[in-house]
Structure 1
Amino acid sequence: MTVRTDRDESVVTITIDRERKLNALDYPTIDALLASLDRIDADDSVRAVVLTGAGHRAFSAGADIPSLAGSIAGGPERALREVVRRGHALTRRIEEFPKPLIAAVKGLAYGGGCLITEAAPLAIAAEHATFAKPEISLGFPPPFGGSQRLPRHIGRKRALEMILTGDPVTAARAEETGLVNAVVPADELLPAARELARRISRHAPTAVAACLRAVTRGVELPIDEGLALEAACFTATVGTDGVRVGLRRFLDRTAGAR
Protein backbone atom coordinates (compact mmCIF):
# COMPACT_ATOMS: atom_id res chain seq x y z
CA MET A 1 0.00 0.00 0.00
CA THR A 2 1.68 3.21 -1.19
CA VAL A 3 -1.22 5.55 -0.43
CA ARG A 4 -3.13 5.68 2.84
CA THR A 5 -6.08 7.74 3.97
CA ASP A 6 -7.10 8.94 7.43
CA ARG A 7 -10.27 10.75 8.40
CA ASP A 8 -10.86 13.42 11.02
CA GLU A 9 -14.56 14.28 11.00
CA SER A 10 -15.29 15.61 7.49
CA VAL A 11 -11.62 16.07 6.46
CA VAL A 12 -9.68 13.23 4.83
CA THR A 13 -5.88 13.22 4.74
CA ILE A 14 -4.26 11.35 1.86
CA THR A 15 -0.63 10.39 2.50
CA ILE A 16 1.81 9.28 -0.19
CA ASP A 17 3.46 6.48 1.78
CA ARG A 18 6.80 5.62 0.17
CA GLU A 19 9.03 7.25 2.76
CA ARG A 20 12.10 5.15 1.94
CA LYS A 21 11.80 6.29 -1.70
CA LEU A 22 11.16 9.91 -0.71
CA ASN A 23 7.52 9.37 -1.72
CA ALA A 24 8.47 9.08 -5.38
CA LEU A 25 5.54 8.64 -7.75
CA ASP A 26 5.72 5.24 -9.39
CA TYR A 27 2.81 4.14 -11.54
CA PRO A 28 0.97 2.13 -8.85
CA THR A 29 1.16 5.16 -6.54
CA ILE A 30 -0.27 7.51 -9.16
CA ASP A 31 -3.06 5.03 -9.87
CA ALA A 32 -3.75 4.66 -6.13
CA LEU A 33 -3.94 8.43 -5.71
CA LEU A 34 -6.47 8.64 -8.54
CA ALA A 35 -8.53 5.83 -7.01
CA SER A 36 -8.50 7.53 -3.59
CA LEU A 37 -9.67 10.81 -5.09
CA ASP A 38 -12.48 9.01 -6.92
CA ARG A 39 -13.69 7.42 -3.67
CA ILE A 40 -13.54 10.72 -1.80
CA ASP A 41 -15.35 12.54 -4.60
CA ALA A 42 -18.20 10.04 -4.34
CA ASP A 43 -18.53 10.39 -0.55
CA ASP A 44 -20.74 13.37 0.22
CA SER A 45 -19.80 13.27 3.90
CA VAL A 46 -16.21 14.28 3.04
CA ARG A 47 -15.92 18.04 2.83
CA ALA A 48 -12.20 18.62 2.23
CA VAL A 49 -8.93 16.83 1.51
CA VAL A 50 -5.36 17.31 2.75
CA LEU A 51 -2.67 15.70 0.59
CA THR A 52 0.77 15.10 2.10
CA GLY A 53 3.78 12.78 2.10
CA ALA A 54 5.01 10.32 4.72
CA GLY A 55 7.97 11.23 6.90
CA HIS A 56 9.89 14.46 7.32
CA ARG A 57 12.22 14.47 4.33
CA ALA A 58 9.87 14.70 1.36
CA PHE A 59 6.41 15.59 0.18
CA SER A 60 7.40 13.82 -3.04
CA ALA A 61 10.76 13.76 -4.79
CA GLY A 62 8.94 13.41 -8.10
CA ALA A 63 8.49 10.65 -10.62
CA ASP A 64 9.97 7.25 -9.86
CA ILE A 65 12.99 7.37 -12.17
CA PRO A 66 13.38 3.60 -12.80
CA SER A 67 9.72 3.43 -13.89
CA LEU A 68 10.11 6.51 -16.05
CA ALA A 69 13.35 5.24 -17.61
CA GLY A 70 11.68 1.97 -18.55
CA SER A 71 8.84 3.80 -20.27
CA ILE A 72 11.21 6.07 -22.18
CA ALA A 73 13.28 3.07 -23.27
CA GLY A 74 10.11 1.70 -24.85
CA GLY A 75 9.91 4.62 -27.26
CA PRO A 76 7.80 7.76 -27.70
CA GLU A 77 4.36 6.12 -27.82
CA ARG A 78 4.92 4.11 -24.66
CA ALA A 79 6.41 7.13 -22.87
CA LEU A 80 3.45 9.26 -23.92
CA ARG A 81 0.97 6.67 -22.70
CA GLU A 82 2.63 5.70 -19.42
CA VAL A 83 4.27 8.97 -18.36
CA VAL A 84 2.53 11.97 -19.88
CA ARG A 85 -1.08 10.78 -19.98
CA ARG A 86 -0.93 9.28 -16.49
CA GLY A 87 0.75 12.41 -15.08
CA HIS A 88 -1.72 14.71 -16.80
CA ALA A 89 -4.61 12.64 -15.45
CA LEU A 90 -3.35 13.02 -11.88
CA THR A 91 -2.60 16.73 -11.95
CA ARG A 92 -5.82 17.56 -13.80
CA ARG A 93 -7.84 15.50 -11.30
CA ILE A 94 -6.21 17.40 -8.42
CA GLU A 95 -6.65 20.77 -10.10
CA GLU A 96 -10.32 20.22 -10.94
CA PHE A 97 -11.29 18.34 -7.77
CA PRO A 98 -14.75 19.56 -6.70
CA LYS A 99 -13.87 19.65 -3.00
CA PRO A 100 -11.14 21.85 -1.51
CA LEU A 101 -7.81 20.04 -1.70
CA ILE A 102 -4.84 21.37 0.27
CA ALA A 103 -1.29 20.21 -0.36
CA ALA A 104 0.66 20.02 2.93
CA VAL A 105 4.27 20.12 1.78
CA LYS A 106 7.26 19.14 3.89
CA GLY A 107 10.80 18.51 2.68
CA LEU A 108 11.40 17.94 -1.02
CA ALA A 109 8.73 18.82 -3.54
CA TYR A 110 10.68 18.09 -6.69
CA GLY A 111 9.45 17.26 -10.18
CA GLY A 112 6.07 15.57 -9.77
CA GLY A 113 5.90 16.74 -6.15
CA CYS A 114 6.20 20.34 -7.29
CA LEU A 115 3.67 19.67 -10.03
CA ILE A 116 1.11 18.37 -7.52
CA THR A 117 1.64 21.55 -5.48
CA GLU A 118 1.00 23.64 -8.58
CA ALA A 119 -2.17 21.70 -9.40
CA ALA A 120 -3.58 21.79 -5.86
CA PRO A 121 -6.07 24.64 -5.33
CA LEU A 122 -4.38 25.48 -2.01
CA ALA A 123 -1.00 24.66 -0.47
CA ILE A 124 0.79 25.15 2.84
CA ALA A 125 4.51 24.45 3.23
CA ALA A 126 6.71 23.58 6.18
CA GLU A 127 9.66 25.90 6.70
CA HIS A 128 12.13 23.26 5.49
CA ALA A 129 10.24 22.53 2.25
CA THR A 130 12.04 23.10 -1.04
CA PHE A 131 10.62 23.14 -4.56
CA ALA A 132 12.39 22.31 -7.81
CA LYS A 133 11.83 21.43 -11.46
CA PRO A 134 14.83 19.15 -12.14
CA GLU A 135 13.43 17.46 -15.26
CA ILE A 136 15.81 19.41 -17.50
CA SER A 137 18.76 17.58 -15.91
CA LEU A 138 17.25 14.35 -17.27
CA GLY A 139 17.00 15.82 -20.76
CA PHE A 140 13.28 16.58 -21.05
CA PRO A 141 10.74 19.27 -20.03
CA PRO A 142 8.25 18.76 -17.18
CA PRO A 143 5.81 16.06 -18.39
CA PHE A 144 2.98 16.30 -15.84
CA GLY A 145 1.78 19.79 -16.80
CA GLY A 146 4.44 21.83 -15.03
CA SER A 147 5.52 23.80 -18.09
CA GLN A 148 1.97 25.17 -18.28
CA ARG A 149 0.80 25.56 -14.68
CA LEU A 150 3.88 27.10 -13.08
CA PRO A 151 4.01 30.15 -15.43
CA ARG A 152 0.32 30.72 -14.79
CA HIS A 153 0.96 30.74 -11.03
CA ILE A 154 4.20 32.67 -10.65
CA GLY A 155 4.80 34.36 -14.03
CA ARG A 156 6.75 33.35 -17.11
CA LYS A 157 10.19 34.62 -16.11
CA ARG A 158 10.15 33.17 -12.60
CA ALA A 159 8.86 29.87 -13.93
CA LEU A 160 11.45 29.70 -16.68
CA GLU A 161 14.23 30.29 -14.18
CA MET A 162 13.08 27.26 -12.19
CA ILE A 163 12.44 25.13 -15.29
CA LEU A 164 15.66 26.02 -17.15
CA THR A 165 18.05 25.81 -14.18
CA GLY A 166 16.46 23.00 -12.19
CA ASP A 167 17.62 24.83 -9.06
CA PRO A 168 15.52 24.52 -5.88
CA VAL A 169 13.72 27.41 -4.21
CA THR A 170 12.92 27.75 -0.53
CA ALA A 171 9.51 27.64 1.08
CA ALA A 172 9.78 31.37 1.77
CA ARG A 173 10.41 32.04 -1.93
CA ALA A 174 7.50 29.76 -2.86
CA GLU A 175 5.21 31.81 -0.63
CA GLU A 176 6.57 35.08 -2.02
CA THR A 177 5.85 34.01 -5.61
CA GLY A 178 2.42 32.57 -4.84
CA LEU A 179 3.20 28.88 -5.29
CA VAL A 180 2.00 28.24 -1.71
CA ASN A 181 -0.43 30.11 0.53
CA ALA A 182 1.57 30.03 3.75
CA VAL A 183 4.70 28.69 5.44
CA VAL A 184 4.57 27.26 8.97
CA PRO A 185 6.88 25.32 11.31
CA ALA A 186 7.02 21.63 10.38
CA ASP A 187 5.17 20.45 13.49
CA GLU A 188 2.32 22.83 12.68
CA LEU A 189 1.93 21.80 9.04
CA LEU A 190 -0.88 19.24 9.23
CA PRO A 191 -2.82 21.12 11.93
CA ALA A 192 -2.62 24.28 9.78
CA ALA A 193 -3.79 22.45 6.66
CA ARG A 194 -6.67 20.80 8.52
CA GLU A 195 -7.68 24.09 10.11
CA LEU A 196 -7.81 25.72 6.67
CA ALA A 197 -9.91 22.78 5.47
CA ARG A 198 -12.33 23.26 8.39
CA ARG A 199 -12.61 27.01 7.76
CA ILE A 200 -13.72 26.26 4.21
CA SER A 201 -15.98 23.40 5.28
CA ARG A 202 -18.13 25.79 7.35
CA HIS A 203 -19.74 26.84 4.08
CA ALA A 204 -22.27 24.99 1.91
CA PRO A 205 -20.57 22.33 -0.23
CA THR A 206 -22.53 23.50 -3.27
CA ALA A 207 -21.11 27.00 -2.83
CA VAL A 208 -17.56 25.69 -2.31
CA ALA A 209 -17.77 23.52 -5.42
CA ALA A 210 -19.14 26.43 -7.46
CA CYS A 211 -16.34 28.74 -6.32
CA LEU A 212 -13.69 26.12 -7.14
CA ARG A 213 -15.14 25.55 -10.59
CA ALA A 214 -15.52 29.25 -11.38
CA VAL A 215 -11.93 30.09 -10.44
CA THR A 216 -10.18 26.97 -11.76
CA ARG A 217 -11.90 26.95 -15.13
CA GLY A 218 -12.22 30.69 -15.50
CA VAL A 219 -8.75 31.91 -14.62
CA GLU A 220 -7.37 31.53 -18.14
CA LEU A 221 -10.54 32.43 -20.08
CA PRO A 222 -11.09 35.80 -21.76
CA ILE A 223 -13.03 38.00 -19.36
CA ASP A 224 -16.36 37.73 -21.20
CA GLU A 225 -16.19 33.92 -21.19
CA GLY A 226 -15.10 33.98 -17.55
CA LEU A 227 -18.06 36.15 -16.60
CA ALA A 228 -20.40 33.78 -18.42
CA LEU A 229 -18.89 30.88 -16.46
CA GLU A 230 -19.32 32.83 -13.22
CA ALA A 231 -22.97 33.44 -14.07
CA ALA A 232 -23.51 29.75 -14.75
CA CYS A 233 -21.87 28.78 -11.45
CA PHE A 234 -24.00 31.30 -9.59
CA THR A 235 -27.29 30.22 -11.15
CA ALA A 236 -26.46 26.56 -10.45
CA THR A 237 -26.56 27.34 -6.71
CA VAL A 238 -29.77 29.40 -6.69
CA GLY A 239 -32.13 26.53 -5.87
CA THR A 240 -29.85 24.80 -3.35
CA ASP A 241 -30.24 24.35 0.38
CA GLY A 242 -26.99 26.24 0.82
CA VAL A 243 -28.52 29.41 -0.57
CA ARG A 244 -31.81 28.99 1.31
CA VAL A 245 -30.07 28.39 4.63
CA GLY A 246 -27.46 31.11 4.07
CA LEU A 247 -29.97 33.78 3.15
CA ARG A 248 -32.34 32.82 5.97
CA ARG A 249 -29.51 32.93 8.51
CA PHE A 250 -28.49 36.41 7.31
CA LEU A 251 -32.04 37.77 7.25
CA ASP A 252 -32.86 36.38 10.69
CA ARG A 253 -29.67 37.87 12.11
CA THR A 254 -30.43 41.23 10.50
CA ALA A 255 -34.00 41.21 11.82
CA GLY A 256 -32.76 40.36 15.29
CA ALA A 257 -30.39 43.31 15.28
CA ARG A 258 -33.13 45.83 14.61
Structure 2
Amino acid sequence: MTESVLCEVSGNIATITLNRPEKLNAISYDLVDTMMALLDALEADEMVAAVIITGAGERAFSAGADIHEFSRGVEAGGEKAMRDFVRRGQAMTARLEAFGKPIIAAVNGIAYGGGCEITEAVHLAVASERAMFAKPEIKLGMPPTFGGTQRLPRLAGRKRALELLLTGDPFKPARALELGLVNAVVPHDTLMAAARHLAGRIIRHSPLATRAVINAVTRGINLPIAEGLAVEGEQFARMIPTFDLREGLDAWIGHRVPVYKGA
Protein backbone atom coordinates (compact mmCIF):
# COMPACT_ATOMS: atom_id res chain seq x y z
CA MET A 1 0.00 0.00 0.00
CA THR A 2 1.30 3.47 -0.89
CA GLU A 3 2.08 5.67 2.08
CA SER A 4 -0.57 8.36 2.47
CA VAL A 5 1.97 10.93 3.66
CA LEU A 6 5.59 11.32 2.61
CA CYS A 7 8.31 13.27 4.38
CA GLU A 8 11.70 14.45 3.17
CA VAL A 9 14.21 16.55 5.09
CA SER A 10 16.61 18.73 3.11
CA GLY A 11 18.93 20.92 5.11
CA ASN A 12 16.82 21.89 8.11
CA ILE A 13 13.49 22.10 6.26
CA ALA A 14 11.10 19.14 6.21
CA THR A 15 8.65 18.73 3.34
CA ILE A 16 5.46 16.80 4.05
CA THR A 17 3.63 15.61 0.94
CA LEU A 18 0.01 14.50 1.05
CA ASN A 19 0.35 11.41 -1.12
CA ARG A 20 -2.98 10.23 -2.51
CA PRO A 21 -2.80 11.82 -5.98
CA GLU A 22 -5.25 9.31 -7.47
CA LYS A 23 -7.79 10.60 -4.91
CA LEU A 24 -6.71 14.26 -5.28
CA ASN A 25 -4.95 13.83 -1.93
CA ALA A 26 -8.25 13.37 -0.11
CA ILE A 27 -7.88 13.35 3.67
CA SER A 28 -8.47 9.84 4.97
CA TYR A 29 -8.35 8.70 8.58
CA ASP A 30 -4.99 7.07 7.89
CA LEU A 31 -3.65 10.29 6.39
CA VAL A 32 -4.63 12.28 9.48
CA ASP A 33 -3.17 9.71 11.87
CA THR A 34 0.07 9.51 9.88
CA MET A 35 0.30 13.30 9.74
CA MET A 36 -0.16 13.61 13.50
CA ALA A 37 2.59 11.09 14.25
CA LEU A 38 4.88 12.78 11.74
CA LEU A 39 4.30 16.22 13.27
CA ASP A 40 5.22 14.84 16.69
CA ALA A 41 8.47 13.46 15.29
CA LEU A 42 9.36 16.65 13.40
CA GLU A 43 8.66 18.89 16.37
CA ALA A 44 11.02 16.80 18.50
CA ASP A 45 13.74 16.70 15.82
CA GLU A 46 16.24 19.45 16.65
CA MET A 47 17.62 19.34 13.11
CA VAL A 48 14.27 20.44 11.62
CA ALA A 49 13.61 24.19 11.84
CA ALA A 50 10.58 24.55 9.52
CA VAL A 51 8.01 22.42 7.72
CA ILE A 52 6.44 22.77 4.26
CA ILE A 53 3.22 20.90 3.39
CA THR A 54 2.26 20.26 -0.22
CA GLY A 55 0.31 17.76 -2.32
CA ALA A 56 1.46 14.99 -4.64
CA GLY A 57 0.71 15.21 -8.33
CA GLU A 58 -0.17 18.12 -10.58
CA ARG A 59 -3.86 18.55 -9.76
CA ALA A 60 -4.39 18.95 -6.04
CA PHE A 61 -3.05 20.12 -2.72
CA SER A 62 -6.02 18.32 -1.19
CA ALA A 63 -9.59 18.10 -2.45
CA GLY A 64 -10.80 17.68 1.12
CA ALA A 65 -12.03 14.79 3.21
CA ASP A 66 -12.37 11.29 1.80
CA ILE A 67 -16.15 11.44 1.36
CA HIS A 68 -16.59 7.70 0.77
CA GLU A 69 -14.87 6.91 4.07
CA PHE A 70 -16.69 9.71 5.90
CA SER A 71 -20.12 8.70 4.57
CA ARG A 72 -19.70 5.23 6.07
CA GLY A 73 -19.10 6.88 9.43
CA VAL A 74 -22.26 8.97 9.07
CA GLU A 75 -24.25 5.83 8.29
CA ALA A 76 -22.93 4.28 11.51
CA GLY A 77 -24.34 7.15 13.56
CA GLY A 78 -23.47 10.58 14.91
CA GLU A 79 -21.23 9.44 17.76
CA LYS A 80 -18.95 7.48 15.45
CA ALA A 81 -18.85 10.28 12.86
CA MET A 82 -17.97 12.82 15.54
CA ARG A 83 -15.24 10.62 17.00
CA ASP A 84 -13.70 9.30 13.81
CA PHE A 85 -14.09 12.30 11.54
CA VAL A 86 -14.78 15.61 13.25
CA ARG A 87 -12.56 15.24 16.31
CA ARG A 88 -9.79 13.68 14.27
CA GLY A 89 -9.82 16.49 11.71
CA GLN A 90 -10.10 19.25 14.29
CA ALA A 91 -7.21 17.77 16.25
CA MET A 92 -5.06 17.83 13.11
CA THR A 93 -5.78 21.45 12.24
CA ALA A 94 -5.33 22.50 15.87
CA ARG A 95 -1.97 20.69 15.91
CA LEU A 96 -0.89 22.51 12.76
CA GLU A 97 -1.99 25.87 14.15
CA ALA A 98 -0.13 25.44 17.45
CA PHE A 99 2.96 23.69 16.03
CA GLY A 100 6.10 25.05 17.63
CA LYS A 101 8.00 25.50 14.36
CA PRO A 102 6.84 27.49 11.32
CA ILE A 103 4.65 25.51 8.93
CA ILE A 104 4.13 26.76 5.38
CA ALA A 105 1.52 25.37 2.99
CA ALA A 106 2.71 25.19 -0.61
CA VAL A 107 -0.69 25.02 -2.30
CA ASN A 108 0.00 23.40 -5.66
CA GLY A 109 -3.56 22.83 -6.91
CA ILE A 110 -7.08 22.25 -5.62
CA ALA A 111 -7.50 23.13 -1.94
CA TYR A 112 -11.13 22.35 -1.23
CA GLY A 113 -12.82 21.59 2.07
CA GLY A 114 -10.28 20.03 4.42
CA GLY A 115 -7.46 21.10 2.10
CA CYS A 116 -8.57 24.70 2.52
CA GLU A 117 -8.84 24.15 6.28
CA ILE A 118 -5.23 22.96 6.42
CA THR A 119 -4.26 26.14 4.59
CA GLU A 120 -6.24 28.21 7.10
CA ALA A 121 -4.62 26.47 10.07
CA VAL A 122 -0.93 26.61 9.11
CA HIS A 123 1.13 29.67 9.92
CA LEU A 124 1.90 30.79 6.36
CA ALA A 125 0.92 29.78 2.84
CA VAL A 126 2.20 30.25 -0.71
CA ALA A 127 -0.13 29.38 -3.60
CA SER A 128 0.61 28.39 -7.15
CA GLU A 129 -1.15 30.45 -9.79
CA ARG A 130 -2.86 27.15 -10.68
CA ALA A 131 -4.33 26.72 -7.19
CA MET A 132 -8.06 26.86 -6.60
CA PHE A 133 -9.87 27.12 -3.29
CA ALA A 134 -13.39 26.33 -2.12
CA LYS A 135 -15.55 25.69 0.94
CA PRO A 136 -17.91 23.19 -0.71
CA GLU A 137 -19.25 21.38 2.37
CA ILE A 138 -22.57 23.23 2.06
CA LYS A 139 -23.13 21.29 -1.18
CA LEU A 140 -23.01 18.07 0.85
CA GLY A 141 -25.62 19.36 3.26
CA MET A 142 -23.17 20.05 6.10
CA PRO A 143 -20.91 22.75 7.53
CA PRO A 144 -17.11 22.48 7.49
CA THR A 145 -15.85 20.29 10.31
CA PHE A 146 -12.08 20.80 10.55
CA GLY A 147 -12.31 24.37 11.84
CA GLY A 148 -13.36 26.17 8.67
CA THR A 149 -16.33 27.97 10.23
CA GLN A 150 -14.00 29.43 12.86
CA ARG A 151 -10.66 30.15 11.20
CA LEU A 152 -11.84 31.55 7.89
CA PRO A 153 -13.94 34.34 9.50
CA ARG A 154 -10.95 35.24 11.66
CA LEU A 155 -8.78 35.49 8.54
CA ALA A 156 -11.19 37.05 6.07
CA GLY A 157 -13.88 38.73 8.16
CA ARG A 158 -17.39 37.47 8.91
CA LYS A 159 -19.27 38.57 5.79
CA ARG A 160 -16.60 37.58 3.30
CA ALA A 161 -16.18 34.20 4.98
CA LEU A 162 -19.93 33.60 5.08
CA GLU A 163 -20.20 34.25 1.36
CA LEU A 164 -17.69 31.47 0.70
CA LEU A 165 -19.12 29.13 3.32
CA LEU A 166 -22.75 29.57 2.24
CA THR A 167 -22.28 29.47 -1.53
CA GLY A 168 -19.57 26.82 -1.76
CA ASP A 169 -18.29 28.60 -4.85
CA PRO A 170 -14.61 28.13 -5.79
CA PHE A 171 -12.26 31.09 -5.70
CA LYS A 172 -8.92 31.78 -7.33
CA PRO A 173 -5.56 32.33 -5.61
CA ALA A 174 -5.73 36.09 -6.14
CA ARG A 175 -8.91 36.10 -4.05
CA ALA A 176 -7.24 33.90 -1.43
CA LEU A 177 -4.44 36.45 -1.25
CA GLU A 178 -6.90 39.30 -0.88
CA LEU A 179 -8.69 37.46 1.93
CA GLY A 180 -5.48 36.77 3.85
CA LEU A 181 -5.67 33.02 3.32
CA VAL A 182 -2.27 32.95 1.58
CA ASN A 183 0.79 35.17 1.79
CA ALA A 184 1.77 35.07 -1.88
CA VAL A 185 0.79 33.73 -5.29
CA VAL A 186 3.67 32.58 -7.49
CA PRO A 187 4.21 30.86 -10.86
CA HIS A 188 3.56 27.14 -10.53
CA ASP A 189 7.10 26.11 -11.39
CA THR A 190 8.55 28.28 -8.61
CA LEU A 191 6.14 27.22 -5.85
CA MET A 192 8.44 25.00 -3.81
CA ALA A 193 11.38 27.36 -4.24
CA ALA A 194 9.20 30.23 -3.02
CA ALA A 195 8.05 28.21 0.01
CA ARG A 196 11.65 27.28 0.87
CA HIS A 197 12.75 30.89 0.44
CA LEU A 198 10.05 32.03 2.84
CA ALA A 199 11.10 29.35 5.32
CA GLY A 200 14.71 30.51 4.99
CA ARG A 201 13.77 34.09 5.82
CA ILE A 202 12.25 32.83 9.06
CA ILE A 203 14.69 30.19 10.27
CA ARG A 204 17.69 32.55 10.15
CA HIS A 205 16.28 33.89 13.43
CA SER A 206 16.28 32.30 16.88
CA PRO A 207 14.10 29.17 16.96
CA LEU A 208 13.13 30.06 20.53
CA ALA A 209 11.99 33.53 19.50
CA THR A 210 10.14 32.03 16.52
CA ARG A 211 8.30 29.65 18.83
CA ALA A 212 7.50 32.51 21.21
CA VAL A 213 5.96 34.54 18.37
CA ILE A 214 3.88 31.57 17.17
CA ASN A 215 2.70 30.83 20.71
CA ALA A 216 1.80 34.45 21.41
CA VAL A 217 -0.18 34.84 18.19
CA THR A 218 -1.92 31.45 18.36
CA ARG A 219 -2.94 31.81 21.99
CA GLY A 220 -3.63 35.53 21.96
CA ILE A 221 -5.58 36.03 18.75
CA ASN A 222 -8.90 34.92 20.25
CA LEU A 223 -8.41 36.65 23.62
CA PRO A 224 -9.33 40.16 24.69
CA ILE A 225 -6.39 42.49 24.06
CA ALA A 226 -5.46 42.74 27.75
CA GLU A 227 -5.21 38.96 28.06
CA GLY A 228 -3.36 38.75 24.76
CA LEU A 229 -0.81 41.27 26.00
CA ALA A 230 -0.31 39.13 29.10
CA VAL A 231 0.44 36.15 26.83
CA GLU A 232 2.93 38.29 24.90
CA GLY A 233 4.66 39.31 28.14
CA GLU A 234 4.77 35.70 29.29
CA GLN A 235 6.47 34.64 26.06
CA PHE A 236 9.04 37.42 26.41
CA ALA A 237 9.73 36.45 30.01
CA ARG A 238 10.56 32.93 28.83
CA MET A 239 13.26 34.39 26.57
CA ILE A 240 15.02 36.47 29.25
CA PRO A 241 17.29 33.71 30.64
CA THR A 242 18.13 32.25 27.21
CA PHE A 243 21.39 32.38 25.31
CA ASP A 244 19.51 33.40 22.16
CA LEU A 245 18.23 36.66 23.59
CA ARG A 246 21.64 37.62 24.92
CA GLU A 247 23.25 36.66 21.61
CA GLY A 248 20.70 38.67 19.63
CA LEU A 249 21.32 41.77 21.72
CA ASP A 250 25.11 41.38 21.69
CA ALA A 251 25.15 40.83 17.92
CA TRP A 252 23.03 43.92 17.31
CA ILE A 253 25.26 46.06 19.55
CA GLY A 254 28.39 44.60 17.96
CA HIS A 255 27.12 44.99 14.37
CA ARG A 256 27.56 41.30 13.58
CA VAL A 257 25.36 38.40 12.50
CA PRO A 258 24.00 36.46 15.49
CA VAL A 259 24.66 32.75 15.90
CA TYR A 260 21.74 31.21 17.75
CA LYS A 261 21.79 27.95 19.70
CA GLY A 262 18.10 27.53 20.37
CA ALA A 263 18.84 27.63 24.08
TM-score, structure 2 length as denominator? Answer: 0.95
> Which letter does structure 1 place at the counterpart of 2:10?
D
- SS in structure 1 of the partner of residue 174 of structure 2: helix
Is it true that 1:108 corresponds to 2:110 in the alignment? Answer: yes
Once residues 164 and 36 of structure 2 are traced to their aligned partners in structure 1, the CA distance between those partners, rounded to angstroms, is 27
Deviations 1:221-250 (CA, angstroms, capped at 9, x unpaired): 101000100000001011112111111111
What is the alpha-carbon distance in structure 1 between the residues aligned to residue 227 and residue 171 of structure 2?
A: 35
Could you list the runs of 5+ residues in structure 2 that have no partner in the other structure?
A: 257-263
**Cα drift, residue 251 of structure 1:** 1.4
Q: How does 1:125-144 map to 2 (within 5 A)?
A: 125-144=127-146
Structure 1 unaligned runs (5+)? none
Task: Give the partner amino acid of 1:46.
Answer: V
Q: 1:37-186 maps to which residues of 2 (within 5 A)?
A: 37-186=39-188
Is 2:200 the partner of 1:225? no
Who is 1:214 aligned against? 216
Q: In 2, Cα distance between the equivalents of 1:7 and 1:80?
A: 34
Match of 1:25 in 2: 27
Give the AA of the match of 1:63. A
2:252 aligns to what SS in structure 1? Answer: helix
Task: Tell me the distance in 2 between the aligned counterparts of 1:131 and 1:63.
Answer: 14
**How many pairs align?**
254
For residue 46 of structure 1, give the secondary structure of its aligned residue in structure 2.
coil
Match of 1:6 in 2: 8
SS in 2 for 1:242: helix
In 2, the alpha carbon distance for the partners of 1:116 and 1:168 equals 16
Shift of 1:155: 0.5
The residue type paired with residue 11 of structure 1 is I
- Provide the secondary structure at the position in 2 that maps to 1:12: strand
Distance 2:208 2:84 in 1: 35
The residue identity in structure 1 corresponding to 2:26 is A
Cα distance in 2 between the residues matched to 1:35 and 1:79: 21
**2:6 is aligned with 1:15:** no
Residue deviations 1:52-91, cap 9 Å, x none?
0001100000000111001100111001101110001100
Find the aligned partners of 1:64 and 1:43 in 2 and give their Cα distance. Answer: 30
Shift of 1:40: 0.1
Aligned Cα RMSD in Å? 0.8
The CA distance in 1 between the partners of 2:243 and 2:22, in whole Å, is 47
The offset of 1:128, in angstroms, is: 1.0
Residues 77-113 of structure 1, C-alpha deviations (whole Å, 9 max, x = no match): 0011011100011000000000000000011000000
Identity %: 56
Q: Alignment partner of 1:169: what SS?
A: coil
The structural deviation recorded for 1:44 is 1.3
SS of the aligned residue for 2:250 comes to helix
Counterpart selection for 2:207 from 191, 205, 215: 205
Partner of 1:183, secondary structure, is strand
Runs of 4+ in 1 over 2 A off after TM superposition: none
> Given the two structures, how large is their TM-score scaled by the length of structure 1?
0.97
Query: Secondary structure at 1:94's aligned position in 2?
Result: helix
